[in-house]
Every structure is written in C-alpha cells, then in structure tokens.
Structure 1
Amino acid sequence: MLLVLSLAMLPSVSWAAETPSASDNYAYYGFEPEIVTNYISNRKKLGFVRISVELMVKSPEDLVVIEHHDPLLRAAIVEILGNQPEDRIKSLTGREEIRKECYEELNKLLQQETGKSLIVNMLFTRYLYD
C-alpha cells in the first residue's frame, strides 16, 4: 500500500524555523533525484520511504555552497531515515520529528564544513512510504 501525505493537509504544523522578513531574498535547493531508502519495518519485508526535500536558504549565493555539499547532506538524510522505526515513519508527528532532526543535522554539518548554518527551513514536498 502506497500512501501520499500532502503538505496541504498539515496547516497546523509550523514549517518555518525562522520568521521571514520582507527584505530577505530566500532561495530553495531541491535534492535531485528524490531520496529513496529503507527503514526499520515491523513486517517481514523491507519498508521504504521516498521523499522530495527542499532546503530554504537566506540568499541565492548560499545555493552554491549547498550544492557543493549535496552528497554529505543527502547521506545524512538517508542515515536518519534508515534508522527510523515504521511507526515513526508512518505517523504525522513522527514525520515532523524526522524533519526537525534532519534540519538540525544538516545545519550542524554545514556549520562544521563552512562555519555557518545556512538552512533557514527544510520542507518535505513529497513523502511516500510503503
């Protein structure tokens, strides 16, 4: 069974980690191709999750740095998703916790690599699991 959860169904979830102002010139970086990995399943077969991720950064100049570190950031997301239990992957609150964990880990990695936390917000624009 393949389920699709829409962002439109989650109006009460706060997606912004930082409040944008009118003077900010935000840009978005999307991981291509989508991220697909297995997770810890309660069943005999492997479970998988397929997500599209968009990273919001404060300026278009930050996109070059994010693109340069794409493999590192992608690997961190895959590792986090791969260590999640099935019930967390499939619940709305679990998905939000996973998003926050990924957001914090990616900024931590960027802080180590560049000296700056460049990501303002992280969005799951597609989230499929089986």
Structure 2
Amino acid sequence: MMKIRVFRFIATCLLFGGVLSPSFAQDKATYAYLGLEPDIVTNYVGQSARKLGYVRVTVELMINDVDNLEVAEHHMPLLRATAIEIFGRQPEEKVKSLTGREDIRRAILKALQDHMRQETGGEVVKNVIFTKYLYQG
C-alpha cells in the first residue's frame, strides 16, 4: 500500500501585530506528498567498467494539487521507472557528491514533469525530495 501524506501549506502568510494580511485567504495552496514506495534501489556506474555501486533513495513527490493525487498514483509505474532509469545512468562521482545529488534530483524532476505533461497535459509534479540517500560503491 502506498503511503500518502497530504499537507496544506500557506503560500504566503504574513503576521503583523497579530493581524493576518488581507491576502491570507486567497494565497492558500494545497500540495500533496506521494512517496515512491518501496525505496528506489538500483546500481550506478562505478569508476571502472567492472565495478558497480548501488544507491538506495527514499523519494517523495510534491504534487501540485491534492486533486492530482489520483493522477499521480495512476502513473506511479512511469514515475518510478523514470527515477530508476536516471539513477542508473549516473557516474559514481555524481552519486557521491552533494552537487551531483542536486543535479540528479533536478534531472528527475524535469523528466517527471515532462512525462506528466505528455500524459496529462499539465504539471502534476511540483518538486522531488530525497528523504533518505544511501550509496555504496
């Protein structure tokens, strides 16, 4: 069973002297978080062709609207496969560095957004978050 966590965020909420800004009611944004479960576990390319490393990552997708949660769940196999494919193409240096990790996260986000745009005609995935990131190589 996929774990789904829904949170409501206030996009901008300014509190001045105990009074909320007048735009408070209009600036609400509702995001949902959907975990790619189980964790992504895959190989990456090591320094030599004979050596492979592996990475285990817990990935949470920030869905741009609670109403799109079912759409994202429906496309979960595509979303998982895309993340696994991108990790599998990464060189060891990228997997092990903080800047490389951020590059991988951005590549996954862009690919997921492109796939969802092709499949649904809209942006469903707002962000990708790594909550656990382990590698061995």
TM-score range, shorter chain: 0.7 to 0.9
After superposition, residues 53-92 of structure 1 pair within 5 angstroms as 53-92=59-98
- Maintained 8 Å contact 2:45/2:51: no
Greater strand percent: which structure?
2
**Post-superposition CA distance 1:68-105 (Å, at most 9, x none):** 10111111111110000000000000000000000000
Check if 1:42 corresponds to 2:47: yes
Cα distance in 2 for partners of 1:94, 1:78 equals 16
Cα distance in 2 for partners of 1:58, 1:107 equals 11
| Structure ID, larger Rg | 2
Percent identity for Structure 1 against Structure 2: 50
The residue type paired with residue 35 of structure 1 is I
The CA RMSD over aligned residues, in Å, is: 1.2
TM-score (norm. length: structure 1)? 0.81
Greater relative CO (CA pairs within 8 A, separation 6+)? 1
After superposition, residues 14-29 of structure 1 pair within 5 angstroms as 20-21=11-12, 22-29=27-34
| Unpaired runs of at least 5, structure 2 | 1-10, 13-26
Deviation at 1:52, TM superposition (A): 0.6
- Maintained 8 Å contact 2:105/2:128: yes
The residue type paired with residue 54 of structure 2 is F
| Unpaired runs of at least 5, structure 1 | 1-19
Check if 1:121 corresponds to 2:127: yes
The residue type paired with residue 87 of structure 1 is E
The residue type paired with residue 42 of structure 1 is Q
Deviation at 1:58, TM superposition (A): 2.2
Deviation at 1:37, TM superposition (A): 0.3
SS where residue 34 of structure 1 aligns? strand
Cα distance in 1 for partners of 2:58, 2:121 equals 26
Question: Which residue in 2 is equivalent to 1:31?
Answer: 36
